[in-house]
């Protein structure tokens, strides 16, 4: 352990390390004051939650057998080479802890992947990220399980799609632009299925790790320095959840740019985006704390799910069953999917090396030109 700690500072000047350590004293004091303030007002805020009918217990809901679950996550990576960019994106679906009576079989592959060589372009990361999200949505919409966990917010796909479609107008030469515009209808159809959740034997729930939204904070009127998830992690007791609240809407209306889409598909994409924007206004938010060792989990789902007591009970029971390990701070299938996709950026240098070797075997010029052209400078990645 000491060796690992020493390696963390091996490349830093000792004076810089000492100054950083001195700064942590002030940070610790500021955090201590914040914790003490929350502790002093905890009972007052809990009472207000109760009086407004926001605080509920899972015992109020009917008992539902443990549902089958899966989690979907994705990642992308861009290896910037001297002459080109090596890009890769992947989405994986991982099944959760299986109930004892489950015999259902989900045939493989439970993943989607893209690997391409692209010219240098500033919009590559934005477009590749949107394509990754599209693959995630397709996997999630086709999953045969009763409860499907999605990493991140339900609003994230529309934001990423819009950003990518704006960039796509200026990056028509990229192969991934063609892949995105060719698949955007499929991606939006999968997105619509997830947001509507009309099938009673399926429920899609988004579990964002990081959020600054304050749907409940605005009602309770606690300080704006506290976001809902952070404060509710201290206010909720194990087994408690909040009354569903309408998702906080953005300051500017949702929209999706369609100029990069082929003319014959543009009307279909516009119609799908209008349906999706309408569905986003009906998304409901719940904070649920299943165990004492877990922070409050933010759950986003369609109102058709959370306003039905049986379907809401299925969601909460599935979350609780998949959060049984104290070392895992999110539902188990999401944790495993996250671990898998995080290895994609780490493996990109190996893919580059294999490509270099195969190219060198058939290149008729000076082999050093191959290794120079495929020299990697840095890797850009995201989830």
pLDDT surpasses 80 at 213: yes
**pLDDT score for 112:** 92
The yes-or-no verdict on residue 371 having pLDDT over 60 is no
Query: What distance in Å separates the CA atoms of residue 137 and residue 147, rounded to the nearest whole number?
Result: 14
Q: What whole-number distance in Å separates Cα of residue 173 and Cα of residue 171? A: 5
Which pLDDT value is given to residue 378? 57
Mean pLDDT of 245-255: 87
Q: Which of 15-29, 188-202, 320-334 has the lowest mean pLDDT?
A: 15-29
Tens of pLDDT, residues 69-98? 999 999 998 888 877 888 899 999 999 987
pLDDT for residue 296:
94
- pLDDT tops 80 at residue 250: yes
Rg of the chain over all Cα atoms, to the nearest angstrom: 24
Question: Other CB atoms closer than 10 Å to residue 246's CB: what's the count?
Answer: 12
Q: What is the pLDDT of residue 364?
A: 62
CATH 3.30.2170 describes domain 59-343: yes
> Is the pLDDT at 374 greater than 70, yes or no?
no
- Whether residue 66 contacts residue 315, with contact meaning beta carbons closer than 8 Å, is answered with no
Q: What is the mean pLDDT of residues 144-169?
A: 94
Q: To the nearest whole number, what is the mean pLDDT of the chain? A: 86
* Residues whose CB is less than 8 angstroms from the CB of residue 282 and which lie 6 or more positions away in sequence, other chains included: 246, 302, 303
pLDDT value, residue 100: 63
Residue 192's nearest CA partner among 280, 307, 308, 93 is 280
Residue 133: pLDDT over 90: yes
Range scoring the smallest mean pLDDT among 38-47, 132-141, 277-286: 38-47
Position 370 pLDDT exceeds 60 = no
- Dihedrals phi, psi of 139, to nearest 5 degrees: -60, -45
Q: 23-73 pLDDT, tens per residue?
A: 877 777 777 777 777 778 889 889 999 999 999 999 999 999 999 999 999
Better-predicted residue by pLDDT, 136 or 80: 136
Q: Is the dihedral of CA 348, 121, 258, 265 positive or negative?
A: negative
Q: Which residue has the higher pLDDT, 127 or 378?
A: 127
Question: What are residue 215's phi and psi, to 5 degrees?
Answer: -60, -45
Mean pLDDT, residues 360-369 taken together: 64
């Amino acid at each position: 352990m000491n060796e690992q700690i020493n390696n963390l500072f091996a490349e830093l000047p000792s004076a810089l390390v000492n100054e950083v350590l001195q700064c942590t004293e002030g940070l610790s004091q500021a955090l201590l004051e914040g914790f003490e303030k929350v502790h002093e007002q905890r009972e007052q805020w809990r009472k207000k939650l109760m009086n407004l009918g926001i605080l509920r217990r899972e015992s109020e809901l009917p008992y539902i057998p443990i549902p089958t679950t899966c989690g979907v996550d994705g990642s992308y990576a861009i290896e910037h080479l001297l002459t080109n960019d090596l890009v890769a994106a992947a989405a994986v679906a991982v099944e959760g802890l299986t109930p004892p009576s489950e015999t259902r079989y989900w045939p493989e592959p439970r993943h989607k992947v893209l690997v391409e060589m692209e010219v240098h372009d500033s919009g590559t990361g934005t477009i590749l990220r949107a394509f990754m999200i599209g693959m995630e949505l397709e996997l999630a919409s086709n999953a045969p399980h009763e409860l499907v966990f999605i990493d991140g917010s339900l609003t994230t796909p529309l934001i990423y799609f819009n950003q990518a479609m704006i960039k796509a107008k200026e990056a028509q030469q990229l192969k991934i632009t063609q892949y995105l515009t060719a698949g955007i209808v499929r991606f939006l159809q999968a997105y619509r299925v997830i947001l509507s959740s009309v099938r009673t034997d399926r429920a899609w729930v988004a579990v964002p790790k990081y959020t600054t939204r304050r749907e409940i904070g605005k009602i309770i009127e606690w300080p704006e320095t506290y976001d809902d998830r952070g404060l509710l992690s201290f206010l909720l007791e194990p087994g408690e959840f909040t009354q569903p609240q309408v998702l906080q809407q953005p300051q500017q209306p949702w929209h999706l740019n369609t100029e990069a889409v082929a003319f014959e598909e543009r009307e279909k994409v516009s119609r799908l985006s209008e349906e999706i924007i309408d569905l986003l206004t009906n998304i409901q938010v719940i904070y649920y704390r299943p165990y004492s060792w877990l922070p409050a989990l933010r759950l986003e789902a369609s109102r058709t799910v959370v306003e039905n007591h049986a379907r809401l009970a299925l969601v909460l029971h599935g979350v609780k069953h998949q959060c049984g390990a104290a070392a895992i701070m999110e539902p188990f299938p999401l944790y495993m999917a996250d671990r898998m996709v995080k290895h994609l950026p780490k493996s990109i240098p190996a893919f580059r090396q294999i490509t270099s070797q195969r190219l060198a075997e058939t290149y008729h010029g000076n082999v050093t030109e191959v290794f120079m052209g495929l020299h990697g400078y840095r890797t850009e990645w995201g989830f």
